[in-house]
């Protein structure tokens, strides 16, 4: 098990990083100004990313009133146990994710993964988030993978693994556990019932899974995809399934 109490190295400002920045300066992907933190996002733009504030403790649905859980989780608890999202799916992050997924600007995904990765590390070190035994990227069907050229969830999981290691947290990425066995229509524009129908039997498991795993995806909206995967994992004996995403969109928008 990783030692979460190990001493955390200072994030910024160490001499090696400063020397590297002289050789390879970093420029912010949003404002194009030099960024000093050895990442392609400057501190000011990172501060402007929309943090997810009041939220359901279970599914991270943004809430306008103080409540532990949203109405839906109270009525019908989901198969997953906890969603962690540092950011709300809103500008400028929304455009960054579109550029990442559809315009092949992988640097956008990387800066968001690095930024959220630090939030995850902080939450783990503060005792607010448990460390899963494996990160499971939500898979793409191989046709979509061929067309897009990459699975965004896998890239995010790999960036999180790397970022968390810098904070003395080691979680392996197990990319082959979950597979998409049939092609599904894009979920956008479908209502909840149609999303569930669309996803029925869409995933399969190809390895034994540890007791505590974490699904990785880019954005969570209705939660239908991670709900389907979590149900499958629980049926296979998983005791706890968390979900980490870059951003949470409200179901009601």
Cα Rg of the chain, angstroms:
18
The string over 4-28, giving b where at least 16 C-beta atoms fall within 10 Å of a residue's C-beta and e elsewhere, is: beeeeeeeeeeeeeeeeeeeeebeb
Q: What minimum distance in Å lies between the beta carbon of 99 and Zn ion? A: 15
Q: Which region, judged by CB under 5 A, interacts with Zn ion, from 34-42, 114-122, 191-199, 242-250?
A: 34-42
Phi, psi of 86 (to 5 degrees): -75, -30
**H helices of the chain, where?**
15-23, 43-48, 71-75, 93-102, 106-125, 142-148, 152-165, 192-199, 224-235
Which of 39, 58, 87, 224 touches Zn ion (CB under 5 A)?
Answer: 58
In the window 9-28, what residues touch Zn ion (CB under 5 A)? 28
User: Which of the stretches 40-48, 181-189, 205-213, 235-243 binds Zn ion when contact is defined by CB under 5 A?
Assistant: 40-48
* Segment interacting with Zn ion (CB under 5 A) among 54-62, 152-160, 176-184, 242-250: 54-62
**Residue of 39, 42, 135, 202 interacting with Zn ion (CB under 5 A):** 42
- Among residues 39, 49, 56, 209, which is the contact residue for Zn ion, using CB under 5 A? 56
Cβ-based nearer residue to Zn ion, 61 or 114: 61
Would you count residue 108 as binding Zn ion (CB under 5 A)? no
Exposed/middle/buried for residue 110 (C-beta within 10 Å: 0-12, 13-18, 19+): buried
Q: How many residues bind Zn ion (CB under 5 A)?
A: 11
- We find the least distance from the C-beta atom of residue 170 to Zn ion, in angstroms, to be 30
Could you say whether residue 96 binds Zn ion (CB under 5 A)?
no
* C-alpha count within 13 angstroms, C-beta hemisphere, residue 97: 22
Q: How far is the CB of 11 from Zn ion (least distance, A)?
A: 17
Q: Are 198 and 185 in contact (CB under 8 A)?
A: yes
Which residues are within 8 A (CB) of 128 and not within 5 positions of it... i.e. 6 or more apart?
Answer: none
- The yes or no reply on residue 29 touching Zn ion (CB under 5 A) is no
How far, in Å, CA of 183 to CA of 244, rounded?
23
Binding site for Zn ion (CB under 5 A): 28, 30-31, 42, 45, 56, 58-59, 61, 70, 73
């Amino acid at each position: 098990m990783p030692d979460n109490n190990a001493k955390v190295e200072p994030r910024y400002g160490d001499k090696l990083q400063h020397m590297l920045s002289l050789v390879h300066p970093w420029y912010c992907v949003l404002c194009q100004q030099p960024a000093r933190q050895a990442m392609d996002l400057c501190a000011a733009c990172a501060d402007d990313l929309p943090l997810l504030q009041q939220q359901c403790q279970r599914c991270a649905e943004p809430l306008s009133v103080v409540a532990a859980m949203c109405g839906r989780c109270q009525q019908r608890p989901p198969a997953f146990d906890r969603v962690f999202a540092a950011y709300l799916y809103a500008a400028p992050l929304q455009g960054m994710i579109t550029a990442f997924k559809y315009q092949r600007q992988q640097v956008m995904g990387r800066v968001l993964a690095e930024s959220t990765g630090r939030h995850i590390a902080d939450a783990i070190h503060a005792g607010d988030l448990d460390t899963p035994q494996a990160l499971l990227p939500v898979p793409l069907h191989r046709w979509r993978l061929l067309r897009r050229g990459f699975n965004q969830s896998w890239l995010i999981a790999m960036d999180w693994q790397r970022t968390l290691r810098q904070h003395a947290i080691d979680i392996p990425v197990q990319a082959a556990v979950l597979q998409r066995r049939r092609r599904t229509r894009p979920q956008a524009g479908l209502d909840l019932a149609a999303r569930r129908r669309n996803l029925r039997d869409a995933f399969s498991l190809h390895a034994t899974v540890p007791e505590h795993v974490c699904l990785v995806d880019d954005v969570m909206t209705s939660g239908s995809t991670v709900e389907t995967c979590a149900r499958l994992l629980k049926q296979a004996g998983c005791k706890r399934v968390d979900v980490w995403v870059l951003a949470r969109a409200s179901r009601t928008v």
